Amino acid sequence: MNDVLEKLTQVLEDRKQASPDESYVASLHEKGLNKILEKVGEEAVETILAARDVAQGADASKLIYETADLWFHSLVMLSHLGENADSVLRELERRFNLSGLEEKASRG
Ligand SMILES: N=c1c2ncn([C@@H]3O[C@H](COP(=O)(O)OP(=O)(O)OP(=O)(O)O)[C@@H](O)[C@H]3O)c2ncn1[C@@H]1O[C@H](COP(=O)(O)O)[C@@H](O)[C@H]1O
């Protein structure tokens, strides 16, 4: 797994036991799945709006920021349900391998 994703995955796991007063992630877990899903939906909409702004000529910094928010809240959702980024990366890897592109790349 990518180093940042791996460290963040561990922090998210640890935050399940943290105090909601001291940790944003713990406060989301305490509020429950509906609040986490609401955040995922909100960040998805903000990402879409930022992407449309880029298409109209805005620079990409807001899009990157909103996409990071979306990925982050998606990771909290997975963590809340007992899953993590590794499962998603393995699924993407499986699809990549199925496409045969990895084999073509290794042949040069
Ligand atoms: N990557 C993030 C991250 N990205 C965004 N956010 C928070 O997500 C929230 C974004 O939601 P909004 O912009 O909608 O802010 P808001 O309106 O205050 O939120 P709501 O009231 O709607 O819930 C902000 O409070 C951000 O601080 C994050 N909070 C934490 N992390 C990571 O999670 C780790 C653990 O964080 P804690 O649980 O706070 O220790 C941190 O070390 C970071 O690595």
Q: What are the pocket residues of ligand 1 if the criterion is a CB atom closer than 6 Å to any ligand atom?
A: 8, 11, 15, 23-26, 39, 69, 72
Q: Looking at residue 50, what is its pLDDT?
A: 98
What is the 59 CA–ligand 1 centroid distance (Å)? 23
Mean pLDDT of 7-15: 97
State the distance between the two ends of the chain, measured CA to CA, in whole angstroms: 24
pTM of the predicted protein model: 0.91
Tokens 């007063």, located at residue: 21
Q: So what's the ipTM on this one?
A: 0.89
The answer, yes or no, to whether residue 107 has pLDDT greater than 80, is: no
Report the separation in Å between the CA atom of 71 and the middle of ligand 1, taken as the mean of its atom positions.
11
Q: Which numbered atom of ligand 1 lies nearest the CA of 8?
A: 44
Ligand 1 mutation target, pool 24, 25, 35, 74, most atoms within 8 A of CB: 24
pLDDT at 36 over 70: yes
User: To the nearest whole number, what is the mean pLDDT of the chain?
Assistant: 94
State the virtual CA torsion across 73, 74, 75, 80 in degrees, nearest 10: 90
What pLDDT digit, counting tens, does each position of 61-94 carry?
999 999 999 999 999 999 999 999 999 999 999 9
Ligand 1 centre to CA of 58 (Å) is 25
